[in-house]
């Protein structure tokens, strides 16, 4: 059955046929399908690429090394889809690539995917000694990327910073203040409404989370005193 699903993708003879067979293969969550799913990322078929990304994300950490090893340095479309898959998985082994791609890739679609993914790293897979330095690198990178000339990349950087802030708001409240300050700057200076509106939404969410945390702390303190 597994081989039949893989063969169906290889033998698809139409654009819609490829989309349908890749969806079936992705849903089956077969590790042996990782190579063909990665290959599909390079086809000129966005629907099939979306399905392949979904399948790779479902397979999770088992897909990370193959994605890193087979990253296409020439086909920026395939690279953008691969970055999207790595971002969706959130495995820290992809962190260096995401950091570099968010700043340096010439393709704005790659920068966008990397910036967003930096906000959703699975930090629990790193040791405590590694987390602080890694999060600092992500923080500094996203601050830089939030000034990218392409608005879609700046938007993704705001999403990434929001995700990072949610991850560190308890362990590192100073960063939360710095992120909020940057969001306020974005609201005041970014000329693209979508970007400034997304920053406003992030400010509202983080401010609410902080007020809830403070209320919980106060209530806990009162109970202890009583």
Confidence bin at 132 (pLDDT 50/70/90): confident
Asked if the structure places residue 174 within a domain, the reply is yes
Domain count of the fold of the chain: 2
CATH number at residue 41: 1.25.10
The pLDDT assigned to 74 comes to: 82
Indicate if 160 and 85 belong to the same structural domain.
no
- How many residues are there in the chain? 226
The pLDDT assigned to 55 comes to: 97
Confidence bin at 213 (pLDDT 50/70/90): low
Asked if the structure places residue 106 within a domain, the reply is no
Asked if the structure places residue 48 within a domain, the reply is yes
Please determine, for residue 64, whether its predicted confidence score (pLDDT) is greater than 80: yes
Confidence bin at 172 (pLDDT 50/70/90): low
Indicate if 135 and 217 belong to the same structural domain.
yes
Confidence bin at 29 (pLDDT 50/70/90): very high
Asked if the structure places residue 51 within a domain, the reply is yes
- What number is the average pLDDT over the span 153-161? 98
- What number is the average pLDDT over the span 107-119? 96
Question: What is this structure's pTM?
Answer: 0.88
Four-CA torsion 51, 107, 168, 216, nearest 10 degrees: -60
Indicate if 85 and 159 belong to the same structural domain.
no
143, 185 Cβ separation under 8 angstroms: no
118, 164 Cβ separation under 8 angstroms: yes
Indicate if 146 and 83 belong to the same structural domain.
no
The pLDDT assigned to 116 comes to: 97
Indicate if 61 and 132 belong to the same structural domain.
no
| Lowest mean pLDDT, pick from 158-162, 165-169, 186-190 | 165-169
CB atoms within 10 A of CB 183: 24
* Three-state secondary-structure class, residue 95: helix
| Span 31-47, pLDDT tens digits | 999 999 999 999 999 99
Q: What element of type H or E holds 178? A: helix 173-189
- What number is the average pLDDT over the span 169-191? 86
Indicate if 85 and 138 belong to the same structural domain.
no
Residue owning tokens 């995401």: 98
- Which pair of tokens denotes residue 16? 């819609």
Please determine, for residue 128, whether its predicted confidence score (pLDDT) is greater than 60: yes
Q: How far apart are CA 115 and CA 103, in angstroms?
A: 8
Q: How far apart are CA 199 and CA 174, in angstroms?
A: 18
Indicate if 70 and 138 belong to the same structural domain.
no
Four-CA torsion 109, 111, 112, 116, nearest 10 degrees: 140
Q: What element of type H or E holds 132? A: helix 128-145
Taking phi first (over 0 means left), then psi (-120 to 50 degrees means alpha), and beta for anything else, what does residue 172 get? beta
Please determine, for residue 54, whether its predicted confidence score (pLDDT) is greater than 90: yes
């Amino acid at each position: 059955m597994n081989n039949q699903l893989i063969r169906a993708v290889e033998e698809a003879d139409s654009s819609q046929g490829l989309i349908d067979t890749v969806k079936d293969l992705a849903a089956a969550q077969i590790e042996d399908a990782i190579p063909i799913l990665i290959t599909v990322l390079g086809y000129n078929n966005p629907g099939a690429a979306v399905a392949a990304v979904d399948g790779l994300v479902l397979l999770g950490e088992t897909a990370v090394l193959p994605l890193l090893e087979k990253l296409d340095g020439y086909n920026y479309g395939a690279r953008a889809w691969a970055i999207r898959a790595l971002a969706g998985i959130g495995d820290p082994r992809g962190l260096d690539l995401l950091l570099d791609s968010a700043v340096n890739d010439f393709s704005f679609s790659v920068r966008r995917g990397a910036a967003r993914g930096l906000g959703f790293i699975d930090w629990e897979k790193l040791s405590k000694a590694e987390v602080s330095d890694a999060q600092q690198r992500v923080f500094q990178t996203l601050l830089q990327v939030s000034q990218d000339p392409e608005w879609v990349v700046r938007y993704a950087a705001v999403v990434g910073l929001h995700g990072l802030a949610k991850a560190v708001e308890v362990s590192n409240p100073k960063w939360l203040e710095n992120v909020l300050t940057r969001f306020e700057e974005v609201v005041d200076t970014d000329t693209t409404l979508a970007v400034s509106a997304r920053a406003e939404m992030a400010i509202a969410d983080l401010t609410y989370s902080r007020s809830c945390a403070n209320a919980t702390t106060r209530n806990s303190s009162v109970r202890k005193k009583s």
